[in-house]
């Protein structure tokens, strides 16, 4: 009887330890989330970027609805993103993580293309999306600091994707000084 209690106790403790070790922290969730964003595997963020730049689309759409150049622009932009977790504040099932994101400000790149057009700097051999790719590829990386909110749902951390979060990723137009 005594050995059964010991065995049961060891089994329960082992299960608790395994369960506790398998749960991701909020910071781990953010890191894996941004790994997916950077790899272009987060469709919600990809669509937000595409909605921001689709007015440049002039090419014939492919079967999936996007040109190959648009896919390349999204991939290139996302590959330039990098994050650093600055701090974390957990309150029950809510977490707030301050991050420093390094990346291209897509709105600055778009503004530069429009300014080039206004100033008659022609890209005769390139369309607007190719020009945007050049701006992203050669663009200056900027650091943006922001807050990411997470909620615990079914014992897992879930990133809250709101407008502030999306703006943190693509950049804000007021961050640019191109017309000043």
Distance (Å, whole) CA 172 – CA 167: 6
Asked if residue 70 has pLDDT above 90, the reply is: no
Supply the mean pLDDT for the chain.
Answer: 80
158 bridge partner residues: 151
Q: What percentage of residues in the chain have a pLDDT greater than 90?
A: 38
| Residue 48, both tokens | 């937000």
Q: What is the pTM of this model?
A: 0.73
Q: How many residues does the chain have?
A: 180
DSSP letter for each residue of 5-49: HHHHHHHHHHHHHHHHHHSPPHHHHHHHHHHHHHTT--HHHHHHH
Domain-wise residue ranges, the chain: 26-175
Yes or no: domain 26-175 corresponds to CATH 2.30.110: no
């Amino acid at each position: 009887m005594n050995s059964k209690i010991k065995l049961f106790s060891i089994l329960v403790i082992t299960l608790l330890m395994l369960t506790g070790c398998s749960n991701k922290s909020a910071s781990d969730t953010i890191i894996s989330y941004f790994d997916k964003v950077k790899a272009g595997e987060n469709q919600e963020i990809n669509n937000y970027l595409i909605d921001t730049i689709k007015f440049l689309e002039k090419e014939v759409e492919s079967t999936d609805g996007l040109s190959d150049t648009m896919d390349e622009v999204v991939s290139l932009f996302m590959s330039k993103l990098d994050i650093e977790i600055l701090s974390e504040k957990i309150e029950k099932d809510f977490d707030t993580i301050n991050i420093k994101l390094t990346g291209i400000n897509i709105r600055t790149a778009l503004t530069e293309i429009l300014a080039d057009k206004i100033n008659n700097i022609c890209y005769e051999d390139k369309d607007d999306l190719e020009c945007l790719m050049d701006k992203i590829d050669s663009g200056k990386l900027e650091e943006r600091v922001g807050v990411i909110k997470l909620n615990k749902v079914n014992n897992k951390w879930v990133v809250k994707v709101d407008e502030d979060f999306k703006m943190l990723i693509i950049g804000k137009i007021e961050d640019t000084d191109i017309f000043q």
